Each structure stands twice: as structure tokens, then as C-alpha cells.
């Protein structure tokens, strides 16, 4: 039996075997096509349909990669220069520069993968889902990070300022990305989360160059009020730390149950506040008795009535 006869028998057998089976018939057609084409023709088709298009995409991807790296370096220099011109904190500037580098490189990788013909929708969706999960798990930490960025950008306080926030009061020693380190007046180190500092109420006692010092001094009923007022004004004038402008304010504020209260308001430099406050308390306490002025304390008069019991 010749080769042609063998081929006819094989074809006849395949047709009978795959008759009525669409998939099988398609497979037979593929087999026939491969058998009819020579190896050279087949390789030529493969090169023309797959290798050449992919080679073009690969070249384009390499060019985009080279240009992208150059653009990323240029953008990083521009961002660094802008942060330096605005005198952004060194820690924050370094973090923002690294963050920008990561984001730009990620965009470049996505672009190259897309050029190569790979579907990026699934990859982007996966990364978005992972980012959402991580964000939910680290919500508190991310809030503190965002607060640190806001604090470093808008600077509601600086290192060395005396602040009060979240029930704590002290001097700022260091501002970090997630926390602010505060040294209290009794030498305790407190770590305050930046999230609360950025969104909550914060008092910065060092923001202004001057502060008002308030006192309330009391004299007894019957004492000379004008004499007490003149003495307080003289004591304020003798203290060089107390500013002449605005002038010292001394007025009678309240007729209390056991005392006549005098309110005193004076201005000083922020760094002299506590020294002025404590010093004036001491001076008034020592000076009032010398001038015949009594510092009252709560009193109660008790009247005893002697009455005879009924017989």
C-alpha cells in the first residue's frame, strides 16, 4: 500500500471517529494544517505573528523604561528642591521624597507591563485590595502619620515650644512622623500621638512673644483699698520683667464673703511668665503685712446666747 493510500485510510478513520464532534473536528483541521505546512513556513508564521510584534513592544518598553528613569530622577530633584526652598523638616522631606520615588516607579512599572501587552487590571485591583486591607489594619497609625505630615507642614508648634495638649503640658523636644516627644516640668518624657495633636485642641504658650500674667489678691474688709492698689502698682513697676505697655491693670473685682478681691493683670515676655508670677505672689505676701494690710482667710462668727432652761 502506497503513502497516498495510507493517508486516505487515516483521513477516513479520523472523519469517522470525529464525526459529529465539533471540538474534535476543529482539532483535526489544526492537524491537517500543521501537516500541510512545511517547518519553514510554520516558523515564518510564528515569527511574523508573535516574535516580531513582541519584539517591537519590547523595544518600546525598553525606551519607555530609560526615559521614565530619567524623568523620575528629574522629578525627584525638583521635589527635593521645592521642599528645601520651603524649609520643610528634614525627616518629612526625606520621607516625601522616598514616597514620591516609590509612586513614580510603580507607575512606570505599570506602564511598561501594559506596553508589553499584559493585562494590568487584575494587578491594579489586587494592589488596591491589599492597600485597603493594610489601611484598615493600620488606621490609627496612618492617622498619626497624616497628623505628623500636617504638623511638619503647617508648624503649629516647633521644637522648644511649651505646649499643652491631650492633658499633658511640657516643652517639645522632638517632632517625629508618628509622635511628638514632650518633656514635662517634672522631667517626664511623654509621647503624644500626632493624630490627636493635629485634630484636637492644642495650646502653644510659646507662639506669641508676650503673655498676660493674672493674679487675684485679697484684703480684709476695713483695709485701705487705695493703699493696696498703689502698693501693687509699685511692686509691678519695680519688676523689670513686667512690661510698661500695656499698662498694669489693677481693679477691685469682687466683694467676697470674707475678703475684698483685687484683680491684677500685667504683661511680660513668654519666657518670664512663671518667674514674674511666682515672684509677685511672694512680694505681695511679704509687703501687705508691713503696710498694715491683712490677707484674709475664711472666718465664721459664732454668737453664744445664755438662756435659762424653762422650769
pLDDT digits (tens, 9 = 90+) for 65-74: 899 889 888 8
Q: Does this model's pTM top 0.85?
A: no
| Under 8 Å between Cβ of 238 and 230 | no
pLDDT of residue 27: 61
* Confidence check: pLDDT of 229 > 80: yes
Q: First CA to last CA across the chain, in angstroms?
A: 159
Name the phi and psi angles at 206, rounded to 5.
-100, 0
pLDDT digits (tens, 9 = 90+) for 173-208: 988 888 999 999 899 999 999 999 988 899 999 889
The three-state (H, E, C) secondary structure of the chain, written as one string: CCHHHHHHHHHHHHHHHHCCCHHHHHHHHHHHHHHHCCHHHHHHHHHHHHHHHHHHHHHHHHHHHHHHHHHHHHHHHHHHHHHHHCCCCHHHHHHHHHHHHHHHHHHHHHHHHHHCCCCCHHHHHHHHHHHHHHHHHCHHHHHHHHHHHHHHHHCCCCCCCEEEECCEEEEEEEECCCEEEEEECCCCEEEEEHHHHHHCCEEECCCCCEEEEEEEEEECCCCCHHHHHHHHHHHHHHCCCECCCCCCEEEEEEECCCCEEEEEEEEEEHHHHHHHHHHHHHHHHHHHHHCCCCCCCCCCCCCCCCCCCCC
Sorting pLDDT into bands at 50, 70 and 90, what band is 219?
Answer: very high
pLDDT of residue 56: 79
* Confidence check: pLDDT of 309 > 70: no
Q: Map out the domains of the chain with their CATH numbers.
A: 43-137 (1.10.287.1260), 148-204 (2.30.30.60), 210-290 (3.30.70.100)
Amino acid at each position: 500500500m502506497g503513502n497516498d493510500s495510507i493517508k486516505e485510510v487515516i483521513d477516513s478513520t479520523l472523519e469517522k471517529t470525529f464525526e459529529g464532534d465539533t471540538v474534535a473536528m476543529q482539532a483535526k483541521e489544526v492537524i491537517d494544517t500543521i501537516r500541510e505546512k512545511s517547518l519553514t513556513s510554520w516558523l515564518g508564521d510564528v515569527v511574523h505573528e508573535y516574535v516580531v510584534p513582541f519584539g517591537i513592544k519590547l523595544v518600546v518598553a525598553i525606551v519607555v523604561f530609560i526615559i521614565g528613569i530619567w524623568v523620575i530622577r528629574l522629578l525627584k530633584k525638583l521635589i527635593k528642591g521645592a521642599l528645601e526652598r520651603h524649609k520643610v523638616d528634614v525627616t518629612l522631606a526625606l520621607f516625601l521624597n522616598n514616597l514620591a520615588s516609590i509612586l513614580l516607579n510603580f507607575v512606570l512599572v505599570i506602564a511598561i507591563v501594559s506596553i508589553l501587552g499584559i493585562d494590568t487590571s487584575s494587578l491594579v485591583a489586587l494592589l488596591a485590595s491589599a492597600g485597603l486591607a493594610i489601611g484598615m489594619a493600620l488606621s490609627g497609625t496612618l492617622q498619626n502619620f497624616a497628623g505628623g505630615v500636617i504638623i511638619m507642614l503647617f508648624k503649629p508648634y516647633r521644637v522648644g515650644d511649651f505646649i499643652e495638649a491631650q492633658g499633658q503640658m511640657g516643652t517639645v523636644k522632638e517632632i517625629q512622623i508618628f509622635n511628638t516627644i514632650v518633656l514635662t516640668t517634672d522631667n517626664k518624657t511623654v509621647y503624644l500621638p500626632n493624630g490627636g495633636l493635629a485634630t484636637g485642641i492644642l495650646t502653644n504658650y510659646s507662639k506669641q512673644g508676650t503673655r498676660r500674667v493674672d493674679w487675684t489678691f485679697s484684703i480684709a474688709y476695713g483695709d485701705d483699698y487705695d493703699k493696696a492698689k498703689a502698693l501693687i502698682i509699685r511692686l509691678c513697676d519695680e519688676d523689670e520683667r513686667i512690661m510698661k505697655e500695656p499698662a498694669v491693670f489693677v481693679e477691685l473685682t469682687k466683694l467676697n464673703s470674707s475678703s475684698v478681691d483685687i484683680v491684677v493683670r500685667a504683661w511680660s515676655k513668654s519666657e518670664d511668665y512663671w518667674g514674674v508670677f511666682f515672684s509677685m505672689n511672694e512680694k505681695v505676701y511679704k509687703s501687705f503685712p508691713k503696710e498694715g494690710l491683712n490677707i484674709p482667710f475664711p472666718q465664721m462668727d459664732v454668737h453664744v446666747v445664755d438662756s435659762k432652761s424653762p422650769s
